[in-house]
Amino acid sequence: AGADLDPQRAVQHLLAAAKADPDHAECFAYLGHHYCRQADQSLDATAQAQNTSRAIKCYERAIGLDPEQAVVGRQLVRIYRARQQPEAGLKVCRMVASNDTAGASAAWAWLYTAQDALDKGEYKEAHRGFSEALRYVTDGASTGAESPSVLPEPYSCREPYDVPFCRFGLARAYEGQGQYVAALRTYAKALEDLSAVPLGSLEDRRTNLRTLLRYGMGRVHRILGEHMDALECLQLVTDDVPGFVLGWCAKAEVLLDMARQSLHADGLYRQAHQRIAEAKDNARWAASLAPDQAHIHKLIGDICALHARLPNAENVRTCVDEAQHAYDAAVGLAGPSCALHYAVGCLHHSARLAAQTAEDGEQARQRSTQAFRSAISSHTSGSAVPLDTLWLALGVMLAPPLQQQHCFVQAIHLNDRNAAAWTALGFLYLQQDKASEARAAFQSAQTLSPSSPEPWLGQALCIQNAASAKGITEQQRKAFVHAHSLAPNHNTEYFLAAAHFLRPEGIVPSLRSSLEKVLAFDPKNVSALNILGCYYEAVGQHDLAWQALQRALELLRSTTDGQSCERLQVTAASFAQQKCIVLVNALRVLCRKGDPECARSLALAQELQAALAQGPVGDPALPQVLAA
């Protein structure tokens, strides 16, 4: 009947055969194929549903009689998925996979169960399933047997991509378990297998799978910190499939990581600027492809927020506004979330540090505080930002010491291994002249994070406050030297601390070379020039001190908005404050250097008086300096 291409006669014979032998699995398999064909060809919804139900019954009977019927099993699972009954299909897969006699013909079942476990985040189970499926298909078996001739083309179960697809799933399972080297190796092997698949009518599928494999490799390279390798893989992805949005996003994220590393670890400011510009271009292109994706707009906000924190940023206000606009777009698409509130809080914290007036700084502080409070109130167990981090950030923003202390203690209560919270609490105690409590907090931070320089710097300051003799003690000098050795060479916070309290006999020998390295990266860094002037003053080289401070003053005078100048210290939020501090240092150095006619000293004093007239700078010593 099949040879005569007469479906009705074929069904009559198959029904007779099933009646004669109810245990004939192949007979029920062919009946299921027939009803599937009828369902696809039917235009009537009722008839289509009836034929689909008949196909399910026949397939269930066939697979129950013979679990090795791979074609039947796959077809049954596909029908269940089409009818939104994935658990029923999964039950069939588990039944086949657990059958000891199925052998290689159960490869398809292992593949389906593994994919389901992967979607649910059950990576160990996914690893087992993909390994079992791969064990069979690499031995020549298929995840689906050759289709009978009576099946139309859409039901063909011949899968030339089974081996690379199994490896792709296995690599993702490795990645989910944190076995990144194994994942990378498996991704590479899958690409090698894919290149061996002969060209055919499934070229689109080859391209899609190759794209996913390269994207996975780029993702793992990024996790391992291999940024250049990640960029290379992701560049191939976007070149191969320009519309692959995730590829553009991943490139932007890698470039953002590289910009952060250039800024925080290496001090390569120009390189950080370049990476940020490239990251913006990739993220904005991704947003043009998928404007309704909230995570892309958040990524753009994160990039602009980092740009606002760079020294010599062209326009910090513009960067902050761009970041805020991107975050607002993300909130509009996905609604407010803990991560978005936290990002907005960090953004306004950067705006506060770059504020040109005390009023702008206070407004930014209030916005940051409100954002961190919103982040805490919206925090859930699945939030990306830990709750103790949020309390720490809120404490940094609050002004009253008691509120700060409450936030830091709350962060420690939530996570007593938060070294940053212990350090912040130590500096708060230090400001309140509670030396013993501060030292205890710094010691806790040192125990948790021995390589962090901040606790060591705090200990040095504690020793200084407790010292009764003039100058510094050997213990204090060693503490600061160790902090300086841990800090990056471009980190001006530690140099500022050195210039602030170290005496000539305690000057760190590498301080000058480190400052010169900062100026090599950023010649317009006013903070570094100011600290270098203080260093030369401390060692008695007043001519060199005057040259450094004079250069800082030239930069300040040539910059009306202060945007291109590095902040001198965290509390000096305004441009006028920076200028006053440098003027005071320059006046002191000039007096020590010698100014017989007092012309330059008087000019600097008049300039300082004009700067002080713009507003208080919070330093009680300035009136005495001006009078002198």
Nearest to 499 by CA among 589, 611, 430: 589
Chain-centroid distance of CA 249 in Å reads: 11
Average pLDDT on 511-536 reads 74
Average pLDDT on 307-311 reads 79
Average pLDDT on 278-303 reads 95
What CATH fold (topology level) applies to the domain 7-159?
A: 1.25.40
Average pLDDT on 58-65 reads 80
pLDDT confidence of 66, banded at 50, 70, 90?
confident
pLDDT exceeding 90 applies to what percent of the chain?
31
8-state DSSP, 155: G
Q: Which segment, 82-91, 160-169, 379-388, 559-568, is predicted with the most confidence on average?
A: 379-388
Q: Which residue has the tokens 């903070």?
A: 527
Helix or strand holding residue 140 (H, E): none
Domain ranges of the chain: 7-159, 512-628
The pLDDT of residue 489: 53
pLDDT confidence of 564, banded at 50, 70, 90?
very low
CB 49 within 8 A of CB 68: no
- For residue 511, pLDDT over 80 is answered with no
Q: Where is pLDDT greater, at 356 or 623?
A: 356
- For residue 238, pLDDT over 90 is answered with yes
CB 371 within 8 A of CB 342: yes
d(CA 192, CA 197): 9
Q: Which residues of 69-105 are buried (b: 16+ CB within 10 A; e: fewer)?
A: bbbbbbbbbbbbeeeeeeebbbebbebbbebeebebb
pLDDT tens sequence across 410-469: 999 999 999 999 999 998 998 888 888 998 999 999 899 887 878 887 887 776 665 543
Residue 521 is which amino acid? F
Average pLDDT on 34-52 reads 81
pLDDT tens sequence across 241-283: 999 999 999 999 999 999 988 877 655 677 888 999 999 999 9
CB 235 within 8 A of CB 218: no
The pLDDT of residue 145: 36
Q: Which residue has the tokens 């700067």?
A: 611
The pLDDT of residue 18: 79
Q: Where is pLDDT greater, at 328 or 513?
A: 328
The pLDDT of residue 2: 47
pLDDT confidence of 494, banded at 50, 70, 90?
low
Round the average pLDDT of the chain to a whole number and report it: 79
Rounded to two decimals, the pTM is 0.70
C-alpha separations of 83 from 60, 61, 78, 88 in Å: 15, 19, 9, 10
Neighbours of 342 (CB within 10 A): 23
Nearest to 66 by CA among 39, 122, 123, 105: 105
Q: Which CATH superfamily is domain 512-628 in?
A: Tetratricopeptide repeat domain (1.25.40.10)
pLDDT tens sequence across 68-118: 777 777 777 788 777 777 777 778 777 777 776 656 667 777 888 888 889
Side-chain half-sphere CA neighbours of 367 within 13 A: 17
- For residue 369, pLDDT over 60 is answered with yes
Listed range (211-220, 443-452, 501-510, 538-547) with the worst mean pLDDT = 501-510
CB 394 within 8 A of CB 373: yes
Nearest to 188 by CA among 162, 159, 221: 221
Average pLDDT on 50-79 reads 79
pLDDT tens sequence across 323-340: 999 999 999 999 989 999
Nearest to 134 by CA among 66, 190, 92: 190
The pLDDT of residue 174: 95
The pLDDT of residue 465: 60
Listed range (18-32, 153-167, 279-293) with the worst mean pLDDT = 153-167
Q: Where is pLDDT greater, at 376 or 616?
A: 376
- For residue 208, pLDDT over 80 is answered with yes
pLDDT tens sequence across 574-592: 566 777 878 888 888 888 7
Neighbours of 298 (CB within 10 A): 23
Average pLDDT on 358-368 reads 87
C-alpha separations of 486 from 421, 443, 451, 454, 513 in Å: 19, 16, 6, 9, 15
The pLDDT of residue 473: 57
C-alpha separations of 572 from 303, 445, 569, 605 in Å: 25, 27, 5, 20
